[in-house]
Every structure is written in structure tokens, then in C-alpha cells.
Chains A and B, each alone.
Chain A
């Protein structure tokens, strides 16, 4: 196939169009640009690195199948993350009903966070550790919104598009997530209850 390497700053619509025409490099650029965000979202739901990577691959396969249906005016990232969220939930329902008990303890600690934390403040490290453990206790939507907001760096508007709910609902659920976490963390970290 003809080499049609694209530039990194190329507009996403152009990349999508080229990918739809069979440009492998354009599709690879799309994957490179968004795979980590997809991974973080999948990981926030599945809490397992390998499963999250599987979902990332499945998400881009699904994206490729749906390229023709993409509407230009739509927020691409929100659309992609919506696909990732749906696939993650499907994956969770399909595989985790049997091994949920085995995996819950591994959660986010599977990621090599500890190595990165050595250089940081021990108090902050402890707080992050406690937060990660208590994320499990949040409801699914609260956890998703919290992760998308703070881990993926999405705006409220983008989160609303991914979840298909209003911005007001996203803000409300985010506030509840923060309030719950603070309530659970207060005794451990000497915060006000």
C-alpha cells in the first residue's frame, strides 16, 4: 500500500477520513494519540492491567468498524471513550462475575505506582494509596466520573458526553464521590469528619 504517513498535528477528522480509506498510518496515529486515555478508562472499571489492554484493542477494532458512522460535529474523544466504557462494562459483566473475588484485592496497586512514589512526599503517597483503595467503594458512575476527571483529565462536558448524561448530573455525582471519599478517608488521614 502507498505510504501515506500523517503528521502528528493532523486534524482528527482528516485522520479518520484517511483511516476510513484504508490508510494504515493514519489509523496508527489515532491509536497512538488516544490509547492511553482509553486504557485509563478501561482500567478504572476493570482494575486489571491486561484486561484493560485487551479492551483498548477491542475499542480500536470497534472504532475501525464504526468509522463511517462518525459525525464530524461530534467530540471524537468523548465518542471513543463511550465505546471504551461500553466495552469495559461488557467485559466486566462477561468475565468478572466468576473471578471478582480473586481480582478485587489487586486493584490499582498492580500498576507500578510505588516506584514512582519514592521520590514524592510520603504523606501524599499515603493519601493516594488510600484513595485508590477507597475508589472501589464508590458506585460505578461516581468512580467513573472521578477517574475520568482526575486521572484522564476530562472536562465535565466531555464526561457528560461519554456517559450520556447531563453536565449537571456529572457535577453532582462528582461532588458525591469527593464527599464520600473524604468521609471514608477522614479517620485515616486526620481530616475533619
Chain B
């Protein structure tokens, strides 16, 4: 309210008996209320406020509504009563987990399926065996042919028949190789090849029985055996057959 409005109201009240009476009543009411407040305060003096204040402060301090010193840190024991529910929960979790693992393990879910890299059918394995036998046989035939040809061509004009030291060593090695080759030939069901290899083995065995210096008679005997049994021809034919049957 502006000062001008106040002045206007003041003037009106001075000239208006009704409004003046209204203002007097209000002033009387408010003065009484104010004095009532004063009287109340005076009446409140009847209360021992010092004692009241001390009572309040004591209550606050005694009840420790607010910790004054650093709060005491409660020790947390691993097996203390406060942690029992936690431990119980943990134990239960371990038991449930172990049971679940056991069931899962028993069901075979965790077992790894055989890796595809190691999977091979019987047919495939058979073909591998056959290929190994084929190559080993070819190698055996190659070397045998070389030794037998050398033996066939060593005859001199004087009739001497000598087997070189290298050929003699090769003969011994081929005898050993034949023992290694036998199971492969049987496994691969190469009976024809095995029969020829057996004949060659027999020849080498004969050779091994005699000394390095063969007598002309012994030499001719072996050469005759090679010719009669057509060993070199058989070797040639078998080699060709094996080379053509390459897997």
C-alpha cells in the first residue's frame, strides 16, 4: 500500500464513525492478543526453564542421540552372528553349485565330442593302409629289381659270379624290409604282390646263405631260378600294376 493510499484511508477513518469504530475494535483485539502473549510469557516464567534446559541437554547426552566421539567400530568376525546368514547362503550356494555340476557331468554334457580332425572312417583307414603297403612294396620291388639285375649281369667271361658289397648289404636290408612289409601286405589284402615278394625273399635268403664269393654253380643256380620263375618280369608287371593303382 502506498503512502498516498494510507493517507486517504486515514482521512476517511477520521471522517467515518463506522470505520473509526471498526479500527478501534481491531486495535483493541490485537492489543489484547499481544498483551495475552506477554501474559503467557510471564506465566511461562513459572516454569523452571534452567532446570528444563538441563533436563533437555541431559536427555540428549544420555540418550546419545548423536555420537560425539568417533563411533566404535564393531568388529566383524567371520563366524560372528551377524555373518551367519551370509555364511549359510554361501554354503547353500556351494552345495547347490556342486550338485548342479555333478548332475551336468553325469549327463555327459561336458564331455567334448571327438574332434572332426581325428575322425576317419574304416574305409578311409583301409585305403591308407593300402596306400602305405603299395608304396612300401614298390620301394621293395625297385630295390630288389636293382639287386637281381646286378646279379644277372655280373657273370664274367671267366665264369666268376660276384655280388658287390653294396648289393650284399642291400640284400640283407631287403630281407629285413620284407619282414616289415609282410603285415602291411596281409592287411591290405595284396596276396598277389605278397606271393611275388615271397619269391624274391626266398632268392635273397638263398643269397644270404652263401658267402660273398659265389661259386659259378651257385650263381648259375640263382640266375636259373630268376629266369625260371620270371622274377624280373613279375617284378616289372607288379610294379606297373602298383603304379597304376595309386590311390
Contacts and interface: CB of A to CB of B under 8 A. Distances in A.
Interface of A: 22, 24, 27-28, 31-32, 35-36, 39-40, 53, 56-57, 60-61, 64-65, 67, 108, 111-113, 115-117, 120, 124, 127-128, 131-132, 146-147, 150-153, 178, 181-182, 185-186, 191-192
B30 A150 contact: yes
B29 to A, nearest CB: 6
Given A64-B60, A65-B65, A151 B37 contact: yes
Contacts of B53: 28, 31-32, 35
A133 B66 CA distance: 40
B43 A60 contact: no
A116 B61 contact: no
Interface in B17-75: 18, 21-22, 25-26, 28-30, 32-37, 39-44, 46-47, 49-50, 52-57, 59-61, 63, 65-66, 68-69
Contacts of B39: 113, 116-117, 120, 128
Nearest to B31: A124
Interface size class of B (residues with CB under 8 A): 35 or more
B52 A53 contact: yes
Nearest to A111: B43
5 contacts: A112-B46, A116-B39, A117-B39, A181-B29, A186-B25
A67 B60 CA distance: 13
Given A22-B68, A61-B59, A64-B65, A150 B37 contact: yes
B32 A131 contact: yes
Given A124-B32, A151-B37, A24 B61 contact: yes
Nearest to A62: B65
Instruction: Across the A-B interface, give the 4 residue pairs with the lowest CB-CB distance, nearest first.
Output: A151-B37, A22-B68, A150-B33, A127-B32
Contacts of B69: 22
Contacts of B43: 111-113, 115-116
